[in-house]
Structure 1
């Protein structure tokens, strides 16, 4: 493997189509597509300032690097990424990628990040400003995760999340086969139109959660006082610990809670309108 250390590059495609390359303490100055169409790349303690540095790359390791805001859309159309101990300040990262493994990564501007990605593993990752994160992505495994940003995980499939704090309006809309465990979910309109969303040992806050959901499952979950008008139009099986402020027009299934502040069943309920609702004795 060729080693390039303590060097600087700029302009258009300075390392285009490189193979078996190890970069150490290298700065990529403004320009475009520095490492486009490369394979078997290692970058350690590098700084990326130019646009689109890693496009159409197959097999690469990024350690202790910095992507500045100028390195926008840095990783697209690529596969086989391992990224550790890295700060990503550049917007719109990770598009149409396969096999991503992110560990101890911070993304302070994560808007429109991780679109159309598959086979994603994340550990100890923190994202902010993450509006529309993970659109249309699948096969995702996340643990020890901190998230701030709205409209997250929309249209995702096959997702497992553990030990997370997610602050996101409209999270998990139109998802399929998502499980969230031991986590805090904060934001309005959680999980609307989802299919087979499962929440285990989670705390939920924000108005009108979990409406129009199909085959929703809650196990040992708690609700904040602002989580009102829950479950409208949903089919579900829910075990709620503590009090839920209000439940409105669930369609089918079974709900058991320690206490229900208000139960609203009116003429607008959808058929079959036979959800069993009970207070735990």
Structure 2
């Protein structure tokens, strides 16, 4: 494997079509497409300042590097990336990628990141300013995760999340086959129009959660006081270890909770309109 150490590059395509290359303590200054159309690349202790440094790359390791804000859209149309101990200040990262592993990575400016990606694994990842994160991505596993940013995980499929704190308005819209374990999800309008969303031992906050959902499962979850007007037109099977502030027109299924505030079952309920609302002591609740 060729090695390049302790140097700088700028301009357009300085390392275009490189293969079997390790760069160590290298700075990529302003310019475009520094490592485009490459394979088997290792980057260690490097600084990326120019746009689009890794496009159409097959097989690369990025370790202890920095992508500055100028390195926007740095990793697109590529396969088989492992990134560790790295800070990514640039937005619009990771598009149209297959085989992506991030470990100990911080993305402080993560808007419009991780779109149309497949086979993604994240561990100990922290993202901020992450509006529209994970659009149309699939086959995702996430552990030990912190997120601040709205409209996340829209149109995603086959997602498993463990030990996360997700602060996101409109999270998990139009998703399919998503399971979240032992996590906290804060934000308005959670999980609308989702299919097969499963929440296990999770804490939920935010107005109008979990409406228009199909096949929703909640196991031993807690709902905060601001979770009002929940479950509208949703098919649901839920066990909730707290009070539910208000429920509006669930479509079908069964909800078991410690208590209920307002229960709204009106003329707008959708068929079959037979969702059971139960208490942990076995009693069934009805609206006035």
Range of TM-score over shorter length: over 0.9
Aligned to 2:265: 265
- Displacement of 1:225: 0.4
Match of residue 191 from structure 2: 191
Aligned residue in 1 for 2:160: 160
Q: Tell me the residue number matched to 2:245.
A: 245
**Cα displacement (A) at 1:23:** 0.5
Q: Shift in Å at residue 262 of structure 1?
A: 1.4
Q: Tell me, in whole angstroms, the C-alpha distance in 2 between the residues paired with 1:91 and 1:147.
A: 15
Q: In 1, distance between residues paired with 2:130 and 2:91?
A: 10
3-state DSSP class of the match of 2:196? strand
Tell me the alpha carbon deviations over residues 143-196 of structure 1, each in whole angstroms, 9 at most, x when there is no partner. 000000000000000000000000000000000000000000000000000000
Question: What are the ranges of 5 or more consecutive residues in structure 1 without an aligned counterpart?
Answer: none
Distance in 1, Cα, partners of 2:135 & 2:103: 20
Question: TM-score w.r.t. structure 1 length?
Answer: 1.00
Moved more, 271-280 or 33-42: 271-280
CA distance in 1, matches of 2:242, 2:97: 42
Give 1:1-281 correspondences, 5 Å limit: 1-281=1-281
Counterpart-to-counterpart distance in 2, 1:255 and 1:50 = 53
What count of residue pairs does the alignment treat as equivalent? 281
Stretches of 4+ aligned residues off by more than 2 angstroms: none
Give 3-state SS (helix, strand or coil) of 1:133's partner. coil
The DSSP-based 3-state class of the residue aligned with 1:25 is strand
Q: C-alpha root-mean-square deviation of aligned residues, in Å?
A: 0.4
Distance 1:45 1:2 in 2: 16
CA–CA distance in 1 between the matches of 2:10 and 2:157?
Answer: 39
Rounded Cα–Cα distance in structure 1 between residues aligned with 2:167 and 2:144: 14
